[in-house]
Amino acid sequence: MDKTKNILITGGAGYIGSHIVEALTKTKNNIFIIDNLSTGFKKLINKKAFFFDLNILNTKKIRKIILTNQIDSVIHLAASVSIGAGEKYPKIYFRNNVTGTINLLNACKNSSVKNFIFSSTAAIYKDGQKIVNENSKISPKSVYGKTKLKAEKQIITICKKNKINYSILRYFNVCGASLSGKIGLIGKGDHLFKNISSSVIKKKPIIKIYGNNYNTSDGTTIRDYIHVSDLANIHLEVLRKISEDARKYKLNSKKISKNKFFEISYNDKGEMELIFNEKHSFFSQYNKLEKKEKKLIENILISFGQSMEIFDNEDKVVVSDLQEILIQNWANILNNYVKENK
Ligand SMILES: NC(=O)c1ccc[n+]([C@@H]2O[C@H](COP(=O)([O-])OP(=O)(O)OC[C@H]3O[C@@H](n4cnc5c(N)ncnc54)[C@H](O)[C@@H]3O)[C@@H](O)[C@H]2O)c1
Mutation test of ligand 1: which of 77, 144, 146 has the most ligand atoms closer than 8 Å to its C-beta? 77
Contacts of 254 (CB under 8 A, 6+ apart): 265, 275
CA distance 81 to 83: 6
Has residue 186 been placed in a domain? no
Q: Using alpha carbons only, give the angle 271, 164, 308 rounded to the nearest 5 degrees.
A: 55
Tell me how far the alpha carbon of residue 58 lies from the centroid of ligand 1, in angstroms: 17
Same domain, 15 and 103: yes
Judgement on whether residues 233 and 275 belong to the same structural domain of the protein: no
Instruction: Give the residue ranges of the chain where pLDDT is below 50.
Output: 247-254, 307-320, 342
Testing ligand 1's pocket by substitution, the residue of 8, 10, 16, 192 carrying the most ligand atoms inside 8 A of its CB is: 16
CATH number at 234 reads 3.40.50.720
- C-alpha distances out from residue 97 to 61, 74, 118, 170, 239, Å: 18, 16, 11, 15, 22
CA of 214 to the centre of ligand 1 (A): 30
For residue 204, being part of any structural domain is answered with no
Contacts 24+ apart (CB under 8 A), 192-195: 192/223, 193/225
Domain around 324 = 250-340
The pLDDT tens digits of the residues spanning 237-293 come to 999 988 875 534 433 344 555 556 666 666 666 566 777 777 766 677 777 777 877
Instruction: Please state whether the predicted TM-score (pTM) of the whole model is above 0.85.
Output: no
Q: How many domains does the chain have?
A: 2
- One domain for residues 166 and 239: yes
CA of 144 to the centre of ligand 1 (A): 12
181 in a domain, yes or no?
Answer: no
Phi, psi angles (nearest 5°) of residue 230: -65, -45
Ligand 1 centroid, distance to 248 Cα (angstroms): 32
Instruction: Return the pLDDT at 187.
Output: 75
Q: How far apart are CA 263 and CA 281, in angstroms?
A: 15
What distance in Å separates the CA atoms of residue 223 and residue 207, rounded to the nearest whole number? Answer: 16
Query: Can you give the pLDDT at residue 133?
Result: 83
Ligand 1 lining (C-beta closer than 6 Å): 10-11, 13-17, 34-40, 55-57, 77-81, 96, 100, 119, 121, 171, 173-174
Nearest CA to ligand 1 atom 40: 77
Write down which residue in 248, 281, 299 finishes a domain.
Answer: 248
Contacts 24+ apart (CB under 8 A), 252-261: 252/163, 260/319, 260/320, 260/323, 261/323, 261/326, 261/327
Residue 114 and residue 55 share a domain:
yes
- Do residue 116 and residue 59 come from a single domain? yes
The pLDDT score that the predictor gives to residue 311 is: 37
Provide the residue count of the chain.
342
Active site residues: 144
- 103 and 20, same structural domain? yes
CA-to-CA distance for 310 and 308, rounded, in angstroms? Answer: 5
119 and 98 fall within a common domain: yes
Same domain membership, residue 232 and residue 321? no
Going from the Cα of 10 to the center of ligand 1, the distance in angstroms, rounded, reads 9
**Same domain, residue pair 28 and 156:** yes
**Considering only CA atoms, which residue is closest to atom 19 of ligand 1?**
39
Looking at the fold, whether 242 and 111 belong to one and the same domain comes out as yes
Tell which residue, 36, 5, 31, has the closest CA to residue 20.
31
Does 113 lie in the same domain as 240? yes
Residue to mutate (ligand 1; options 8, 9, 10, 15; most atoms within 8 A of CB): 15
pLDDT reported for residue 75: 98
Any domain includes 242:
yes
Which amino acid is present at 292? K
Q: pLDDT value at position 18?
A: 97
Looking at residue 338, its pLDDT comes to 52
